[in-house]
Amino acid sequence: MHSLVLRIVAGSALASLCAAAPTLAAEGRAGGKLLLTDGITTVEGSAGGGIASWAVIAGQETNAGVGGAASATLIALPDFTLTSLGGAIGIRDRIELSYARQRFDTRDAGAALGLGKGFTFGQQVFGAKLRLVGDAVWDQDRWLPQISVGVQHRRTTQGAVIAAVGGRHDRGTDVYASATKLILSRGLLLNGTVRLTKANQWGLLGFGGDRRDRHTAQFEGSAALLLSPRLAIGGEYRTKPDNLGFAAENDAVDLFAAWALHRHLTLTAAYADLGAIATVRGQRGLFVQLRSAF
């Protein structure tokens, strides 16, 4: 198979890439997606940004094959640590199946909360996503974005603690719809997602609460700028329900840089602000992810 090395800079070089898109698509049968256009991996295992799901499908394969991705994510906050190991399979750039296992360590804050030092919550997230219409990369002559719908089923540990703080369930299911548009001539990616959820702190503190026990619509937004074929910078914003009376839940935001170290390896670093978690304020820290894709 022939390979083609792309050297893109902002502006006119990206416009040249648009003109070459049909040729690239024909040659991109095995790992044919452009670098970084399949996103990274969310903390929930799906393709997207770090905290926001996108309409793109995991893996580097086009509609001619099966691809996938695996990732390890660390969010180091002043009082808590979240780790997530995730994996996803992309089938013909149409269907995505994903999985993530999360571990939330309360460290010293666990003792102050009456849980015990180093008390941990865990969660498994099983996901599926279907691309309905559009292609974020190759539909440059159309205004229509790539649109996908998805579902994520979550199973959380520590059900007794969740019930004690007002959580109603230790399992829950989200559904969402995402629209992603890549404007290659400007090196700009835009994404918007609407999610129906009743997860507390992304499900780590259960689902529903004493204040509310129903699904509500939440928003996830992302914007990224391709500075080169291997480097993208951007930011994300995600709203969250506020179901538990004992602790207000804040929205999440991050500013990130994603660097394609290799065709199959991406390193992402971000400043993440998750607000207050379980009454502990000021949870701002470092998001780091290493992701391999094929």
Using DSSP's 3-state secondary structure scheme, residue 111 falls into: helix
Spatial separation of the C-alpha atoms in residues 244 and 212, rounded to whole Å: 8
**DSSP per residue over 149-177, as a string?**
EEEEEEEES-HHHHHHTT--BSEEEEEEE
Spatial separation of the C-alpha atoms in residues 250 and 271, rounded to whole Å: 16
Residue bearing tokens 């689902």: 207
In a domain, 186, yes or no: yes
In a domain, 154, yes or no: yes
Reference 107, options 78, 128, 129; nearest CA is 78
In a domain, 3, yes or no: no
In a domain, 4, yes or no: no
| Side-chain half-sphere CA neighbours of 63 within 13 A | 8
Phi, then psi, of 266 in degrees rounded to 5: -125, 135
In a domain, 70, yes or no: yes
Distance of CA 21 to the CA centre of its chain: 26
Range of the domain at 152: 12-293
Q: How many domains does the chain have?
A: 1
In a domain, 265, yes or no: yes
In this structure, what DSSP letter does residue 115 have? S
Using DSSP's 3-state secondary structure scheme, residue 109 falls into: helix
pLDDT at position 193 is 98
Spatial separation of the C-alpha atoms in residues 140 and 248, rounded to whole Å: 42
Distance of CA 156 to the CA centre of its chain: 19
Segments of the chain assigned E as strands: 40-41, 47-48, 66-76, 81-91, 95-105, 120-133, 146-156, 171-183, 188-197, 216-228, 231-238, 252-262, 265-273, 284-293
Residue bearing tokens 């599926």: 128
One digit per residue, the tens of pLDDT, for the chain of length 294 reads 333 333 333 333 333 333 333 333 333 334 578 889 889 999 999 999 999 999 999 999 888 889 999 999 999 999 999 999 999 999 999 999 999 999 999 999 888 888 889 899 999 999 999 999 999 888 888 889 999 999 999 999 999 999 998 999 999 999 999 999 999 989 999 999 999 999 999 999 999 999 999 999 999 999 999 999 899 999 999 999 999 998 889 999 999 999 999 989 999 999 999 999 988 999 999 999 999 999
Q: What is the pTM of this model?
A: 0.86
Q: Pull the structure tokens for residue 68.
A: 């996938």
Residue bearing tokens 């793109």: 56
In a domain, 6, yes or no: no
| Side-chain half-sphere CA neighbours of 77 within 13 A | 25
In a domain, 58, yes or no: yes
Domain harbouring 254, CATH code: 2.40.160.40
Spatial separation of the C-alpha atoms in residues 13 and 276, rounded to whole Å: 43
Using DSSP's 3-state secondary structure scheme, residue 11 falls into: coil
Residue 117 CB coordination number (10 Å): 11
